[in-house]
């Protein structure tokens, strides 16, 4: 396979962008990535989006965004895999360049939650679950995560504040991220006093739905502009996996098989072992997802993932730094754009441009996007090229 490098990155601030259209938000990220890449022009566009047809009344985003960005004529498609849409779009861009069929690919993650409010958002989010057996019963993603968290706490004797470390770490790391939705650290007592959203999930256990766009330009190393000056970062491994859509169809609802499979394949492709990973950008849409991902990937044994957060092992100076720029909890959860934000933040780390959040000597970063409760998992290993 051809070596694929991430030549350009761009992102908008995550938040409530009532006044900015879907296409304008995407264009802001595209222009930043285009400039960062040294002006590379893509031959293909892959758009990661989860809910635009439901929330923004707009499908066919590939053509819409290509047109608005002045790229009419190129291949342009939308990739949808629920919360893993951004990661899936990145994988398609990677495969296009690695195959040699495309010299440069543009990957864009875009989502606007604020085009609708209240029950309409919950209704849209429910479409990512099994409509016939879950959504029809009124189950939304937060309630589903709450059921998982309650069962996990029961089976593993987790105390009421056992998941606090995930939120504390994310909000601490979000302080220095200028694009994060929340840039204020929280104290343990703040977590303890937080209102319940869906017991046992409180407001700090669930990432806020938000608007945002992020973009990447992928190419081959030999096609980089002669005056390209950014430190080089390549995609060393890429893999995806799928599981049952409905939780009740699984043998073990407390083990994310897809997270294990996709991460394992990506690491094998990259030729590395777990101990070589410098940081992990997990899919912390809910605290329970973070714990289960840590276990599935292999950083903790089954039932003990929560302890890594409780014992501060996921901090920037811990055993395995996670959510290094605030994760979905502090940065915000921009739906189908989340996986592309992960990649942008990982590249920032590997370039040595993360400022106060910089991890010393970071060489390999694992990013993982989940669709639903890991019904889809897409994992990438990004590597700093010395």
pTM to 2 decimal places: 0.98
Higher pLDDT, 117 or 87: 87
64 close to 32: Cβ distance less than 8 angstroms: no
Domains of the chain: 4-117+209-223 (3.40.47.10), 125-207+235-384 (3.40.47.10)
Tens digit of each residue's pLDDT (9 = 90 or more) over 91-106: 999 999 999 999 999 9
- The rounded distance, in Å, linking the Cα atoms of 276 and 302 is 21
For CA atoms 341, 7, 52, 238, the dihedral sign is negative
Query: Token pair of 145, please?
Result: 């995560």
- The rounded distance, in Å, linking the Cα atoms of 86 and 48 is 4
Residue 78: the pLDDT is 98
Q: How far is CA 255 from CA 16, 40, 374, in A?
A: 34, 42, 9
pLDDT higher than threshold 80 for residue 236: yes
Tens digit of each residue's pLDDT (9 = 90 or more) over 289-318: 999 999 999 999 999 999 999 999 999 999
For the segment 185-208, the average pLDDT, to the nearest whole number, is 97
Nearest residue to 376 (alpha-carbon basis) of 244, 242, 254, 245: 242
Q: How far is CA 270 from CA 276, 286, 327, 356, 382, in A?
A: 11, 28, 24, 28, 9
Average pLDDT, the chain: 97
Q: Specify burial of residue 13 (Cβ count, 10 A radius: 0-12, 13-18, 19+).
A: middle
pLDDT higher than threshold 70 for residue 323: yes
Residue 1: the pLDDT is 66
Model confidence band, residue 242 (pLDDT cutoffs 50, 70, 90):
very high
Residue 80: the pLDDT is 98
For the segment 126-148, the average pLDDT, to the nearest whole number, is 92
- The rounded distance, in Å, linking the Cα atoms of 168 and 157 is 21
């Amino acid at each position: 396979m051809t070596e694929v490098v991430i030549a350009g990155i761009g992102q908008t601030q995550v938040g409530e962008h009532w006044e900015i259209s879907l296409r304008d938000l995407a264009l802001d990220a595209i222009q930043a990535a285009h400039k960062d890449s040294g002006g590379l022009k893509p031959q293909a566009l892959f758009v990661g989006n989860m809910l635009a047809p439901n929330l923004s009344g707009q499908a066919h985003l590939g053509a819409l965004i290509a047109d608005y960005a002045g790229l009419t004529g190129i291949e342009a498609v939308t990739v949808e895999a629920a919360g893993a849409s951004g990661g899936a779009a990145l994988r398609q861009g990677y495969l296009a360049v690695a195959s040699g069929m495309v010299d440069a690919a543009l990957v864009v993650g875009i989502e606007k939650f604020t085009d609708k409010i209240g029950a309409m958002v919950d209704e849209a989010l429910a479409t990512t679950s099994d409509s016939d057996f879950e959504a029809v019963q009124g189950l939304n993603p937060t309630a589903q995560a709450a059921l998982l968290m309650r069962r996990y706490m029961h089976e593993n004797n987790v105390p009421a504040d056992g998941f606090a470390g995930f939120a504390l770490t994310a909000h601490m790391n979000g302080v220095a991220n200028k694009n994060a939705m929340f840039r204020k650290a929280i104290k343990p007592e703040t977590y303890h006093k937080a209102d319940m959203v869906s017991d046992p999930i409180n407001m700090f256990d669930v990432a806020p739905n938000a608007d945002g766009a992020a973009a990447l330009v992928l190419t081959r190393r030999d096609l980089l502009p002669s005056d390209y000056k950014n430190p080089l970062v390549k995609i060393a491994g890429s893999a995806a996996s799928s599981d049952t859509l409905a939780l009740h169809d699984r043998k073990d609802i407390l083990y994310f098989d897809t997270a294990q499979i996709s991460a394992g394949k990506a690491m094998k492709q990259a030729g590395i072992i777990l101990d070589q990973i410098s940081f992990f950008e997990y899919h912390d849409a809910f605290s329970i997802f973070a714990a289960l991902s840590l276990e599935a990937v292999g950083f903790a044994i089954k039932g003990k993932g929560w302890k890594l957060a409780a014992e501060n092992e996921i901090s920037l100076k811990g055993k395995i730094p996670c959510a290094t720029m605030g994760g979905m909890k502090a940065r915000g959860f921009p739906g189908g754009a989340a996986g592309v934000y992960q990649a942008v933040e990982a590249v920032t780390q590997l370039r040595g441009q993360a400022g106060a959040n910089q991890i010393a000597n970071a060489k390999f970063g694992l990013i993982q996007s989940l669709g639903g409760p890991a019904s889809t998992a897409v994992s990438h290993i990004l590597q700093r090229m010395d």
